[in-house]
Amino acid sequence: MLKLGVLASGRGSNLQSIIDAVEAGEIEAEVKVVISDNENAQALERATKHQIEAQYVGPEDYSTSNGFEQAIIDQLERYDVELVILAGFMKLLSPYFIKYYQNRIMNIHPSLLPAFKGLHAQQQALDYGVKVAGCTVHFVDQGMDTGPIILQAVVPVKEDDTEDSLATRILEEEHKVYPEAVKLYAEDKLEIEGRKVIIKR
Ligand code: GRF
């Protein structure tokens, strides 16, 4: 069974959607460990509640970012993690980490990439005046929010939307597409060809 490791810095609602899909038997996988760079992350509580290993790795305990990353890799190795899921993980990973788990790291971003990379993607979308927004699950490469796209979902933007109301509408879709992408990976249905992810149905 595919072994998952989730990195999360905060609320962990995407983590929850994956835990729920695994527990419902929708994904043939097991969440082995949840790792956070934030001691107070709700994601860690969610893991514990589901009897999943919850590990805090504090960046301030390491003198270099390499040391911090190595500590994360050590934890992932300890649980034989095969696919790394970024779920609201707020630290950028180095090329070393990305190479270590080449094509085995997924991320979700709350925009229709390649539009609106980085922080406050929903506010960026509102400021730009787009009529649709959405979310993207992608493999992680060395750029920020640039890797091959696995799945996207679209939501309408309403004239009276605020960052919060749009984020809430997008989040609902995030909770569907992220488990779906992990399921496809677990079923070995994803093939990366350059920038493209072919879904073998
Ligand atoms: C989500 O909006 C996700 O797209 C972004 O960070 C947020 C994490 O939310 N990468 P949660 O911690 O999963 O609730």
Three-state SS annotation for the chain? CEEEEEECCCCCHHHHHHHHHHHCCCCCEEEEEEEECCCCCHHHHHHHHCCCEEEECCHHHCCCHHHHHHHHHHHHHHCCCCEEEECCCCCCCCHHHHHHCCCCEEEEECCCCCCCCCCCHHHHHHHHCCCEEEEEEEECCCCCCCCCEEEEEEEECCCCCCHHHHHHHHHHHHHHHHHHHHHHHHCCCEEEECCEEEECC
How far CA 161 is from CA of 43, 120, 121, in Å, comes to 27, 14, 14
Tell me the β-bridge partners of 4. Answer: 31, 83
pLDDT band at 25 (very low <50, low <70, confident <90, very high): very high
- Residue 53: pLDDT over 90: yes
Assign domain 107-201 to a CATH class: alpha beta
- Summarize the confidence of residues 158-163 as an average pLDDT: 98
Tell me the pLDDT of the chain averaged across its residues.
97
> Residue 58 Cα, ligand 1 centroid: separation in angstroms?
20
Q: Token pair for residue 110?
A: 């709350």
- Residue with CA closest to ligand 1 atom 2: 110
Mean predicted confidence (pLDDT) in 169-182: 98
Which amino acid is located at 10 in the chain? G
Question: Considering the entire predicted model, what is its pTM?
Answer: 0.97
Nearest to 141 by CA among 110, 167, 177, 117: 117
Looking at residue 80, what is its pLDDT? 98
User: What's the residue count for the chain?
Assistant: 201
- Ligand 1 site-directed mutation target among 174, 175, 178, most atoms within 8 Å of CB: 174
Mean pLDDT of 20-41: 98
CA-to-CA distance for 185 and 85, rounded, in angstroms? 11
Would you call 109 a catalytic residue per the annotation? yes
Cα–Cα nearest to 189, from 174, 201, 176, 180: 201
Residue range(s) of every CATH 3.40.50.170 domain in the chain: 1-101, 107-201
Mean pLDDT of 151-169: 98
CA 113 to chain centre: 14
Atom of ligand 1 nearest to the CA of 13: 14
158 pLDDT more than 90 = yes
Residue 50 has pLDDT above 90, yes or no: yes
CATH topology for the 1-101 domain: Rossmann fold (3.40.50)
Other Cβ atoms closer than 10 A to 146: 15
pLDDT band for position 162 (50/70/90)? very high
Whether 87 is in the pocket of ligand 1, judged by its Cβ within 6 Å, is: yes
pLDDT band at residue 49 under the 50/70/90 scheme: very high
Q: What percent of the chain has a predicted confidence (pLDDT) above 90?
A: 99
126 CB neighbour count, 10 Å cutoff: 18
Is residue 134 within 6 Å of ligand 1 at its C-beta? no
Specify the pLDDT at position 71: 97
pLDDT of residue 173: 98
Res. 201 pLDDT band, cuts 50 70 90: confident
